[in-house]
Structure 1
Amino acid sequence: MLTVCNFHYIRRDFNKPYPSIFGVTPDEFDYQIKELKKMGRFITIDELTTDIDTVLADKRHHLLVTFDDGLKEQFELALPILEQHRTEALFFINSMNFIDNKVSMVHKIHMVRSEVSPNEILKEINKIPNSQQNELTPAEFSKAVAHYRYDDQSTACLKYLLNFKLPKSSLDIVINALFQRNFEEESVADTLYMSNDQLRYLAERNMLGNHTHSHFALGLLPKPEIEEEILKTKSFIQSFKKNDNLAISYPYGSAEACGWPVPEMAKQTGHKIGFSMERGSNDITADKLLLKRYSSNDLPGGKNYSS
């Protein structure tokens, strides 16, 4: 059995005017690794990528840590703790952050929401013509509440609207305008994401994984764009070191973000292992291109864990 624990932000503090960016401190991360060790053993990346069937079939409990988004804080604050525990992890990156030196829209949203009130963001959205089309249907409301289970309903709906519902053209207008008022993109990109030397360090240890080029919800894109998103990052990672066992993590990881034909496209582009954000552990019945993961909050030591 394989249980995967996924992390994003790791910072010494998360003090912002508005709650938006959530994660763990280094001390919390260290404690959580210690607690997870009590559940089973952490597998190596080589075991994962070359012997996944044995891992899934084994009755013993195997554990894996993953990180999404290629953030510098993951390398500088989390990796030293992992190395102290002699534990490996997979770090999934978006190549646009490095090739284009651009900030992903998902991080622009996080940063804007941390500095700008929800009412001001909604006010900007409502300035867009036909903005009533951006209201959530009852079905979308249910999806929002289920996917963003750690947020209150109004926050969950705003996040769903920004990440899934709002047309890209509208999103670009609203978020880019608010982002540019509060941040300088090139400076943010340099400080937020790993350096090439850090990427190379991970690549040499086969600890880099594909999180696509632009961090779009792949399931909402046409097939040619899905393929392009996957291949750009695969090629970028291979520029550091050739890896025939590259794994992929689907941005957002929800059913609509990684539904058909996304896993099939991942397979066609040479990926043998893929990760969603469906909660649960994985056994021999698991789809190896749609492996389940827990948020760090869901497991021992996490904020929402209850034994």
Structure 2
Amino acid sequence: MNMLEKEPDGLLIVNYHYIREKRQYPYPGIYPLERDAFVEQVRWLLSRFQPVSPEEVEAFVYGEKPLFRPGLCFTFDDGLVEHGWAAREVLEPLGVRAIFSVSSRPLMEERALMVHKIHWLRANTEPERFRNEFMALVPEEWLGKAVEEDVASAAAQTYVYDTPSFASLKYLINFQLPNRIVDDISSEMLKSRKVSDSSFCREYYLDKSEILRLSRKGHMIGNHGHSHTPFSRLLEDDLEGEMARSRSFFAGLTGKEQTWASYPHGRQWAIPADTKSFCRRFGFKIGLGLDGGWNRGGESPYLLNRVNENDLKKAV
């Protein structure tokens, strides 16, 4: 029996965020996969599994056509600038096409996504200084949230790669403070370092021409919201606005309607309560989470399993 016959059948969807050199950041905050490691990982995966197209994924998960070998699908979230390099220099020479899920705000408004501003600030700021600066900008009425009894335990379970103190701070940022407050604080912290939102966007994200190139090369541009706010935290009108803006923007840019959605943050707490209703409402055939594991057929197409690259060993 050969190696492929020993592998579990079904579909493995692998997701990537940062692909860059660790040494450029003096402090924790960004945990990238380095470029050489990415190339090695892609080649290793392709030696074991059969790459499948978005159309083949859809046929499999809707029960229309089985996969006769263990299938592999690459996805990239957030529209980071290095994703263009990954497609152009690594995937395309190997004949592989992927799904790139992009939030529209940096492209439409030249306003960086809150999550990346926080990542960058943490990676370039001494930890205690970051914590002190951030907390000094939190409105007084929200400061009490930082010392609630249940925060430490919940934070440790959510942010397993962080120290307890910074896990609690990230929990405050992502679960307790309104997104608009964190967005404003992170922009103010950037400004104090003489970094504007617009310059941050130019250095951090794919531009319109790069996204159009990806689409024309046969990659899929998936939806990732407008502001990267978890869909579960948006009021009905705000969700409608987010989806209308992002879908309209990318349809205008690429000439194609988006049929896949990657839920921002991807975990159970962040996804819509009813993913089937959500996807049908906005015209998506596929919804992608981030809770790991294989897709063996029978899963809801509106919440497929997906594995982050740093958790890949758990799946294979």
Q: Does 1:103 align with 2:115?
A: no
TM-score with structure 2 length normalisation?
Answer: 0.87
1:298 maps to 2:311? yes
RMSD: 2.4
C-alpha distance in 1, partners of 2:292/2:57? 19
**Structure 1: any 5+ residue segments left out of the alignment?**
none
CA shift in 2, pair 1:19/1:103, >3 Å:
same
Q: Name whichever of 270-279 and 254-263 sits farther off.
A: 254-263
- Which residue is equivalent to 1:191? 203
Could you tell me whether the CA contact under 8 Å between 2:221 and 2:258 is conserved in 1?
Answer: no
- 2:222 touches 2:260 (CA, 8 Å); kept in 1? yes
**Which of 2, 15, 28 matches 1:6?**
15
Distance (Å, rounded) in 1 between the aligned partners of 2:135 and 2:202: 32
Please state how far the C-alpha of 1:167 moved relative to its aligned partner.
2.2
How many angstroms apart in 1 are the aligned matches of 2:286 and 2:180?
33
Q: 1:201 aligns with which of 213, 221, 226?
A: 213
**Secondary structure of the corresponding residue to residue 130 of structure 1:** helix
Query: In the TM superposition, what is the alpha-carbon distance from 1:117 to its structure 2 partner?
Result: 2.8
Change in Cα spacing, 1:225 to 1:306, as seen in structure 2 (3 Å) is closer
> What amino acid is the match of 1:186?
S
Q: In the alignment, is the contact (CA less than 8 A) between 1:226 and 1:262 conserved in 2?
A: no
1:254 corresponds to which of 253, 267, 272: 267
CA drift at 1:5: 0.8
2: distance between equivalents of 1:110 and 1:249? 20
What is the alpha-carbon distance in structure 2 between the residues aligned to residue 234 and residue 155 of structure 1?
Answer: 35
Q: State the Cα distance separating 1:49 from its structure 2 match.
A: 3.8
1:76 aligns with 2:85: yes
What is the CA–CA distance in structure 1 between the aligned matches of 2:93 and 2:222, rounded to whole Å? 22
Select which of 174, 179, 184 maps to 1:163.
174
Kindly indicate whether residue 162 of structure 2 is the aligned counterpart of residue 151 of structure 1.
Answer: yes
Give the whole-Å Cα distance in 2 for the aligned partners of 1:156 and 1:56.
43
Give the conservation status (yes or no) of the 8 Å contact 1:11–1:26.
yes
- Cα 1:217–1:140 change in 2 (3 A) is farther
Q: Using a 3 Å threshold, how does the CA distance of structure 1 residues 32 and 86 change in structure 2: closer, same or farther?
A: same
What is the number of equivalent residue pairs in this alignment?
303
Aligned pairs for 1:113-132 (under 5 A) are 113-127=122-136, 128-132=139-143
Do the aligned residues in 2 keep the contact of 1:125 with 1:131 (CA within 8 Å)? no
Query: For 1:306 and 1:271, how far apart are their aligned partners in 2?
Result: 26
Aligned equivalent of 2:99: 90
Match of residue 215, structure 1, among 228, 252, 255: 228
Shift of 1:149: 2.4
**Within 1, Cα distance between the matches of 2:257 and 2:201?**
29
Counterparts of 2:301 and 2:307, CA distance in 1:
16
Which deviates more, 136-145 or 125-134?
136-145
Cα distance between partner residues in 2 of 1:173 and 1:20? 19
Which residue in 2 is equivalent to 1:38? 47
Gaps of 5+ in 2: 1-9
Using a 3 Å threshold, how does the CA distance of structure 1 residues 47 and 120 change in structure 2: closer, same or farther? same
- Measured at CA, do residues 278 and 191 of structure 1 come closer, stay the same or move farther in structure 2, by a change above 3 Å? same
* Partner residue, 1:133: 144
Change (3 A) 1:47 1:57: closer
String of CA shifts for 1:13-44, please: whole Å, max 9, x gaps.
44212111121122111110122123321111
Runs of 4+ in 1 over 4 A off after TM superposition: 54-57, 136-140
The sequence identity of aligned pairs, in percent, is 29
For residue 140 of structure 2, give the secondary structure of its aligned residue in structure 1.
coil
CA contact (8 A) 2:39 2:90 kept: yes
